[in-house]
Amino acid sequence: MSHIRVEGLCVNYPLYGRSRAAAGIHEVDSDIDRMVRDKKGRVVGVRALQGVTFEAAAGERIALLGENGSGKTTLLQVLAGIYSPDSGVVEVEGRTTALVNINLGMNAEATGHRNITLRGLASGRTRAEIEDKRAEIAAFSELGDFLNLPVETYSAGMRMRLSFAIATAFEPDVLILDEWLSAGDSAFRKKATERMRNFVDKAGILVLASHSPSLLIDTCQRALWLDAGHVRAEGDVKEILQAYGEEMERRQVGRDERAQVQIAAAVDAREAKRLKAEARANRRRPAKADTGPGVKTGSAGTVSDPVSGAGGDANTRPSAHVPARACAEPDPDNPITRLVGRMARMIGR
């Protein structure tokens, strides 16, 4: 009889000296601290699951909900025996088939037939059970003589066909499924979808993680909502899906608002940096003086127009270019001219 019991499950991912950025840490809610710290306050790990508790009996179909980083895949891997819990209790009764990554465990150097044997043994099947299913697996994969060749000679689609055929060949007591599986081209995908339906229907317990509401409603009755490693809610799949959708919309609005603030701050910072660079460049640039012919600059920085006699700022007033004349008449308003005339009159006396 298949049965699952999880109580107070906690799983931490150690960082081993890596920085938070390098570890790809994603915090769903800034109010929830998912960091594991040492006595000095340094981050040494990430809490993937915290105090998860639930049970599943034979015949139940459980949907796992949660946004990316909520801990869905980690929980599936713990149920499949891939990860060990740091604390808590995990009891799974019955043969378990985990389709978290159907290509996991494929030996590329071995032939297709050898991989059928290896994958069957890894799932806990006897050699007699594997031989009973070999012809069925070969026929469903449609690989023919390629099963006698190393898997490394297969295309990506051929590998997927073989992996799918092996993974869905044995009826499981407990089926751990991360997203709905399909494989191959359109014709094979239709056949794979029908096989997947039959495979799921024969499972004693199904735990399915997916982002497709319609798939979860069609396949499951109960839902478990994981949020930042915690169980946020548990109950009827339609009710939990509605609450989950409303919460995701609310969070997306907040994220969009924060994104706009961050973008505006980045634009302001770039503009301030540009203005600062321009001011620094202007201070370093030497002043240009206009000393064209016919232009006289006084000590106060003014320019006198030899024609009109008007003055202006040398930096703002455009300079007047007056062609030189062979016999220019003295300017009566020029102080030097007046001084020379006065001296000439004194000598003449």
| Window from 73-77, 119-123, 299-303 with minimum mean pLDDT | 299-303
CB atoms under 10 Å from CB of 195, counted, come to: 18
Average pLDDT of the residues in 198-210: 90
Tell me which residue of 195, 202, 182 sits closest to 95, measured CA to CA: 202
Instruction: Provide the domain count of the chain.
Output: 1
Average pLDDT of the residues in 201-220: 90
Q: Is the pLDDT of residue 24 over 50?
A: no
Provide the token pair at 65: 């909900």
Residue type, 22: A
Annotate 35-90 with DSSP letters as a single string: EEE-TTS-EEEEEEEEEEEEEEETT-EEEEE--TTSSHHHHHHHHTTSS--SEEEE
> Residue 167: in which H helix or E strand, if any?
helix 156-167
Tell me what pLDDT residue 339 has. 75
Q: Is the pLDDT of residue 33 over 70?
A: no
Question: The domain containing residue 219 runs over which residues?
Answer: 1-95+209-267
Tell me which residue of 336, 62, 344, 307 sits closest to 208, measured CA to CA: 62
Tell me the β-bridge partners of 207: 62, 176
Average pLDDT of the residues in 45-67: 91
Tell me: the pLDDT tens digits for 320-349? 454 555 455 666 667 777 777 777 777 765
Tell me what pLDDT residue 16 has. 67
Collapsing DSSP to helix, strand or coil, 7 comes out as strand
Q: Check if the beta carbon of residue 285 is closer than 8 Å to that of residue 292.
A: no
Q: Is the pLDDT of residue 313 over 60?
A: no
pTM: 0.67
Average pLDDT of the residues in 78-96: 90
In a domain, 77, yes or no: yes
Q: Is the pLDDT of residue 210 over 50?
A: yes
Residue type, 233: A
In a domain, 47, yes or no: yes
Average pLDDT of the residues in 264-285: 89
Tell me what pLDDT residue 171 has. 85
Average pLDDT of the residues in 79-86: 88
Distances (CA, A) of 320 to 270, 288, 335: 41, 16, 21
Q: Please give the distance of CA 219 from its chain centroid, rounded to a whole number.
A: 29
In a domain, 78, yes or no: yes
Tell me what pLDDT residue 29 has. 43
Rank 79-83, 135-139, 158-162, 165-169 by mean pLDDT and report only the highest. Answer: 135-139
In a domain, 25, yes or no: yes
Provide the token pair at 35: 């960091």
In a domain, 7, yes or no: yes
Average pLDDT of the residues in 248-265: 90
In a domain, 105, yes or no: no
In a domain, 36, yes or no: yes
25: domain CATH number is 3.40.50.300
With a CB cutoff of 8 Å and minimum separation 6, the contacts of 89 are: 5, 6, 7, 8, 9
In a domain, 129, yes or no: no
Provide the token pair at 13: 């991912």
